[in-house]
Amino acid sequence: MRFFKKEEFTCKCGCGLNNMDVHIMEMLDEARFMADIPFIVNCGCRCKEHNKKVGGVEDSSHLYGLAVDISAKDDFQRFKIIGALYLVGFRRILLYDAFIHVDIDLSKVNPILKIMK
């Protein structure tokens, strides 16, 4: 990977879990190249305990290494990130106030671009 370190995607609780899917990592790396701005990873994979602690849904894509949350400090960055994610093939993009959730979980509704509240 050109732009990311594997450690950026490790579960934040300290358990060491890092089961990130290779395909999502390749897609993120390509999107980062296309956007030409840094992607700040809030969350990659999560263990069950950490997922519950942060209020994640029971079948969160983060549990399976299929999802990433990316920070965007302003609308310009958000626009560039979303555009690049879409161009590389992401079709599940959820927009929250403070971050962009993106995943490749085919067990969930695809495609979806949704503003979350």
| DSSP structure string for the chain | --S--GGGGS-TTSS------HHHHHHHHHHHHHHTS--EEEE----HHHHHHTT--TT-GGGGT-EEEEE-SSHHHHHHHHHHHHHTT--EEEE-SSEEEEE--TTS-SSEEEE--
Task: Tell me the pTM.
Answer: 0.94
Taken in order of first residue, the domains within the chain and their CATH numbers are 6-115 (3.30.1380.10)
- pLDDT tens, 13-46? 999 999 999 999 999 999 999 999 999 999 999 9
